[in-house]
Amino acid sequence: MTSAGVGRLAGKVAVVTGAASGIGKAICSKFALEGASVMMVDRSREGMEQVQPCLSTKFDNKHHLADGDVADMAFAKDLFSNVKENYGKHGDVLVNCAGIIRDSLLINMDESRFDEVIQTNLKSVFVMTKSFINTLNHPGGMDPASIINISSIVGKGGNTGQANYAASKAGVILFTKSVGFEMGRFGIRCNSVLPGFIKTPMTEQVPEPLLEKVRKQIPMKRFGMPEEIANACLFLASDESSYVNCSALEVTGGMMA
Ligand code: NAP
């Protein structure tokens, strides 16, 4: 067996949002390769239907998908009931990866752009995390789990044209820490990952002159790949990170360190 398939997540059930595209898609692939059964979540059913057949099943792991809005509490409750139905157990890992950008300078930013970004990037993390944790609770106590929230380095450093996005991602970092403080005693770990500039459909629209400017600011002088974020998530999902809680892991090539 190759090192990229030793089964570090064998037997685990992982719920991954934003699964139809970019970083979420790479996380699903990596987790499946390592033996996890993946419950894919995104608002694009079509996108997930394209990803699903590409996910490894060599550990006899099974993959399902659910389409809906991750900021919708009713959807989240149904989703986690479906996880139990599909796998006969609740999830072991939750990755909150779905997110959007609606960039503009504050002077031009209308209220709807602010609300949409906060709703999708921050409220969804509350909705999904709370619904997930509820399923871990039983009369004998709570079952252990790993929760991974995809924030952004912009949530640490801020960025021109991204006041809405930066605020949402900063919120994710401290939401994560607070959940880790509350739940750590039960073996429920909660960590955030702060990607830098990663090549995905989200960053495809950035014009070339700006790309060049950003690239120069990265100590490693290149953009990251979705798989490099997936590798960090694999570590946080696996037992190899058994004592890692409340952390904010930067995967940026050194950008804004
Ligand atoms: P992406 O390629 O656009 O993928 C995000 C996926 O999430 C899309 O399929 C999107 O659907 C879905 N989604 C958005 N809102 C949703 C909702 N309310 N309910 C369900 N699904 C929803 O973006 P990405 O670059 O992979 O980004 C993934 C995460 O990493 C995001 O949280 C992003 O903020 C974060 N991040 C990315 C970078 C980067 O450089 N790419 C850097 C730092 C952090 P639609 O296409 O319909 O919106």
Residue 257 lies in a domain: no
**Nearest CA-CA partner of 18 in 101, 77, 86, 85:** 101
Q: Which residue has a Cα nearest atom 41 of ligand 1? A: 198
> Does the Cβ of 155 fall within 6 Å of ligand 1?
no
Query: What's the pLDDT band for 230 if we cut at 50, 70, 90?
Result: very high
> Does the Cβ of 99 fall within 6 Å of ligand 1?
yes
Lookup: tokens for 54: 């590409």
Residue 7 lies in a domain: no
Q: Give the DSSP H/E element, type plus range, for residue 54.
A: none
Contacts of 187 (CB under 8 A, 6+ apart): 142, 143, 144, 145
Looking at residue 1, what is its pLDDT? 40
Q: Which domain CATH number covers 175?
A: 3.40.50.720
Contacts of 240 (CB under 8 A, 6+ apart): 8
Residue 8 lies in a domain: no
Checking DSSP bridges between strand 13-17 and strand 93-96, what pairing results, if any?
parallel
Residue 3 gets which letter from DSSP?
A: G
Q: Which residue has a Cα nearest atom 13 of ligand 1? A: 98
Alpha carbons 154 and 156: distance in angstroms, whole number: 5
Decide if pLDDT at 2 tops 80. Answer: no
> Does the Cβ of 247 fall within 6 Å of ligand 1?
no
Residue 5 lies in a domain: no
Lookup: tokens for 78: 């149904």
| Residue 38 DSSP SS3 | strand
Mean pLDDT of the chain: 97
- Determine the residue of 15, 23, 117 to mutate for testing ligand 1's pocket, defined as the one with the most ligand atoms within 8 A of the Cβ atom: 23
Q: Give the DSSP H/E element, type plus range, for residue 205.
A: none
> Does the Cβ of 71 fall within 6 Å of ligand 1?
yes
Residue 57 lies in a domain: yes
Question: Across residues 29-38, what is the average pLDDT?
Answer: 98
> Does the Cβ of 91 fall within 6 Å of ligand 1?
no
Catalytic residues: 165
Alpha carbons 257 and 249: distance in angstroms, whole number: 11
pLDDT digits 0-9 by tens, 180-201: 999 999 999 999 999 999 999 9
Q: What is the pTM of this model?
A: 0.98
* Ramachandran angles phi, psi of 247, nearest 5°: -90, 160
Task: Write out the residue range of the structural domain in which residue 172 sits.
Answer: 13-135+145-249
Number of domains in the chain: 1
The answer to whether the beta carbons of residues 191 and 198 sit under 8 Å apart is no
Residue 254 lies in a domain: no
pLDDT digits 0-9 by tens, 66-101: 999 999 999 999 999 999 999 999 999 999 999 999
- Determine the residue of 17, 40, 43 to mutate for testing ligand 1's pocket, defined as the one with the most ligand atoms within 8 A of the Cβ atom: 43
Q: Give the DSSP H/E element, type plus range, for residue 244.
A: none
